[in-house]
Chain A
């Protein structure tokens, strides 16, 4: 887990430039598979969205030249990666590391919002519902990727752990210890 008062790391520029030309369709398809996998293993996440379980969201990693359109579809989510502003009723924008850190509980959403590392636009209520639902789901994105890769799970997790240490970006859910 990155120290929560360290500056939020930014995605390396050369890699971000690569995304300007990368084909988006395969990314959209694999992220949809990934999101459906998460929906299966965490059904509570989409239930918690309540009246917003069909609201289209835009997740905007501001250090990347792409945005992610997420349609929760009552628990059968689909994802589209697009260039430009994207379309949706609620937009959550911030550096990729901040968005990933939120998912893993490494950062507090309100604190990121007060410091303006995170920007919410459109339907604020829907954006908060998504944030709260994700916070409750205690997701571990590395674990979910590893599960999808079958026999490669162990080396993938090791690679993610190395990347997490090198970049300071939260790629997995930190271990919780009982203090009392």
Chain B
């Protein structure tokens, strides 16, 4: 079986570009708090969602709607409406994280396929099977903290399909449990759909030395000619004790292209590309490369390599936790 390429789309134009470039599946979200990538200028209104899904279907591709933040007490209505609208728009599945919303969707929209978001941080087979049995979850997006042998172990013990991140920004902790961003900005992925939000980001260039600040704190300073960092808290350069450096993680991004054969052997169903905030040009280029790679793998041809480094944060990549070589 060819592994499925699941590609991000922050805008209708990116959705069309992804489908044309060969994405099997595209994921996107509504332009409100129900979506863990609630960035300015991004996402879909209801009409755009309906049109985007129709476009994808006409090209043989599927659309997943991410409704993967945690509903506010007393504000659940917005999340319930998002689920109903995703179904009405013709979504292939919804990607959910909150237990209550999963229960609600399983009960009131039983025909709508349910995927478990990475935000739910389900990282072992027992937990995944619980979601499968209780809420009919058909697929889980695994957190970016597992190694390939751990993924293989999970797949041996579950019927729920697994989807893993292979390219793009790296969230070094189980994203659904990380509140780092809220300490500097008051906003975090779980509550507001944003980590280290752009509204709290400031850059200052002093004769080529670039400071990147988040919520008033300098997270990074780079010299002339060094690549510019986005001040994501976990990728900042800090001084603690005797050490100064990237104490959590370097500002690099994930590229697991070389691991595709191992991931296939580990029983992975789908390969997820991160980056709903990226342009249609990026989306098309990444999809083209990964589609060529999975098709080559399926046909027993060697994998094309060395693609895509230029597009990455810090212009450097890592295989992340899959190889467990990082701090």
Q: CB within 8 Å of B: which residues of A? A: 4-5, 48-52, 102, 105-111, 113-116, 119-121, 124-126, 128-133, 135-138, 176-180
Bound complex: CA of A61 vs CA of B314, how far in Å? Answer: 24
Q: Which of B179-215 contact A (CB under 8 A)?
A: 197-199, 201-205, 210
Q: Which of B256-305 contact A (CB under 8 A)?
A: 277-282, 284-285, 288, 291
Smallest CB-CB A-B distances: 8 pairs: A132-B41, A129-B41, A129-B40, A136-B11, A108-B282, A125-B199, A125-B198, A124-B201
B218 on interface, CB distance cutoff 8 Å: no
Sample of 24 A–B contacts (CB below 8 Å)? A49-B41, A52-B41, A102-B279, A108-B279, A108-B311, A109-B279, A110-B277, A114-B227, A114-B228, A116-B210, A116-B226, A116-B227, A120-B203, A121-B204, A121-B205, A126-B40, A129-B41, A135-B11, A135-B280, A136-B11, A179-B20, A179-B21, A180-B59, A180-B60
Instruction: Identify the interface centre among A4, A113, A128, A133: most chain B CB within 10 Å of its CB.
Output: A128
Bound complex: CA of A108 vs CA of B279, how far in Å? Answer: 6
Is B313 touching A114 in the complex (CB atoms < 8 A)?
Answer: yes
Bound complex: CA of A86 vs CA of B288, how far in Å? Answer: 40
Number of A-B contacts (CB under 8 A): 123
| Given pairs A109-B278, A115-B315, 19 additional interface contacts (CB within 8 A) | A4-B310, A5-B310, A50-B41, A105-B280, A105-B281, A108-B281, A111-B282, A111-B311, A116-B225, A119-B228, A121-B204, A128-B41, A130-B41, A132-B40, A135-B280, A180-B20, A180-B21, A180-B60, A180-B291
Q: From residue B193, how far is it (CB to closest CB) to chain A in Å? A: 14
Bound complex: CA of A121 vs CA of B13, how far in Å? Answer: 26
Q: What residue in chain B is nearest A104 (Cβ atoms)? A: B281
Is B227 touching A124 in the complex (CB atoms < 8 A)?
Answer: no
- List residues of chain B with CB within 8 A of the CB of A108: 278-279, 281-282, 285, 311
Bound complex: CA of A49 vs CA of B170, how far in Å? Answer: 27
Q: From residue A21, how far is it (CB to closest CB) to chain B in Å? A: 28
Q: Which of B1-58 contact A (CB under 8 A)?
A: 10-14, 16-17, 20-22, 39-42
Set B17, B202, B279, B285: member contacting A110, Cβ < 8 A: B279
- List residues of chain B with CB within 8 A of the CB of A137: 13
Instruction: Identify the interface centre among A51, A113, A132: most chain B CB within 10 Å of its CB.
Output: A132
Bound complex: CA of A51 vs CA of B41, how far in Å? Answer: 9
Bound complex: CA of A51 vs CA of B199, how far in Å? Answer: 12
Q: What residue in chain B is nearest A133 (Cβ atoms)? A: B41
Is B198 touching A114 in the complex (CB atoms < 8 A)?
Answer: no
Set A5, A125, A136, A180: member contacting B40, Cβ < 8 A: A125
- List residues of chain A with CB within 8 A of the CB of B22: 179-180
Bound complex: CA of A12 vs CA of B13, how far in Å? Answer: 32
Is A4 touching B41 in the complex (CB atoms < 8 A)?
Answer: no
- List residues of chain A with CB within 8 A of the CB of B210: 116
Bound complex: CA of A111 vs CA of B284, how far in Å? Answer: 14
- List residues of chain B with CB within 8 A of the CB of A136: 11-14, 41, 280
Is B315 touching A114 in the complex (CB atoms < 8 A)?
Answer: yes
Known contacts A108-B279, A179-B288: A51-B40 contact under CB 8 Å: yes
Instruction: Identify the interface centre among B14, B21, B282, B288: most chain A CB within 10 Å of its CB.
Output: B282
Bound complex: CA of A115 vs CA of B210, how far in Å? Answer: 12
Q: From residue B222, how far is it (CB to closest CB) to chain A in Å? A: 9
Set B40, B60, B279, B310: member contacting A52, Cβ < 8 A: B40
Q: From residue A135, how far is it (CB to closest CB) to chain B in Å? A: 5
Is B315 touching A176 in the complex (CB atoms < 8 A)?
Answer: no
Bound complex: CA of A133 vs CA of B41, how far in Å? Answer: 5
- List residues of chain B with CB within 8 A of the CB of A50: 40-41
Q: From residue A112, how far is it (CB to closest CB) to chain B in Å? A: 10
Bound complex: CA of A115 vs CA of B313, how far in Å? Answer: 9
Is B20 touching A178 in the complex (CB atoms < 8 A)?
Answer: yes
- List residues of chain B with CB within 8 A of the CB of A133: 41
Known contacts A4-B285, A120-B203, A138-B13: A110-B278 contact under CB 8 Å: yes
Q: From residue B8, how far is it (CB to closest CB) to chain A in Å? A: 12
B312 on interface, CB distance cutoff 8 Å: yes
Is B282 touching A48 in the complex (CB atoms < 8 A)?
Answer: no
- List residues of chain A with CB within 8 A of the CB of B60: 180
Is A176 touching B20 in the complex (CB atoms < 8 A)?
Answer: yes
Q: From residue B219, how far is it (CB to closest CB) to chain A in Å? A: 13
Bound complex: CA of A52 vs CA of B310, how far in Å? Answer: 30
Is B14 touching A114 in the complex (CB atoms < 8 A)?
Answer: no
